């Protein structure tokens, strides 16, 4: 299999470096790593080299490079992450927020006795 080597215009190369630094400053470390993979690949480094440098699986590095080729920088950005499903219903969530933000005396607390039984 032939190695994937991207050719970047000098302006694009500088833009990717700038975007990588901005992403890192904003805490988007995964995006910064993907951008680094692209500009380091354009310097002649293979997916295997990049995997060692970036401490990522070679298959992921190859996928990042393919996504960049297909979609540009947008292909390297974070997508929607659903996260863990909620355990509370909307009604339960609203009730808990109300309870937590209510005045302490409404919840049964007094200065003398603490919470009411």
Q: pLDDT (tens digit, 0 to 9) for every residue of the chain, 117 residues total?
A: 667 889 999 999 999 999 999 999 999 999 999 999 999 999 999 999 999 999 999 999 999 999 999 999 999 998 766 778 888 899 998 888 887 777 766 667 666 666 555
Residue 90 sits at φ, ψ, to 5 deg, of -60, -40
pTM value is: 0.66
Q: How far is CA 85 from CA 44, 74, 80, 81, 90, in A?
A: 43, 27, 14, 11, 12
């Amino acid at each position: 299999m032939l190695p994937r080597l991207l050719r970047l215009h000098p302006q694009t190369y500088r833009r990717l470096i700038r975007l990588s630094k901005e992403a890192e400053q904003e805490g988007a470390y995964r995006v910064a790593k993907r951008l680094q993979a692209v500009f380091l690949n354009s310097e002649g480094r293979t997916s295997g080299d990049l995997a060692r440098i970036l401490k990522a699986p070679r298959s992921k590095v190859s996928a990042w490079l393919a996504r960049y080729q297909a979609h540009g920088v947008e292909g390297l950005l974070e997508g929607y992450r659903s996260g863990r499903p909620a355990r509370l219903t909307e009604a339960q969530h609203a009730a808990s927020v109300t309870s937590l933000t209510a005045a302490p005396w409404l919840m049964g607390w007094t200065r003398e006795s603490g919470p009411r039984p």
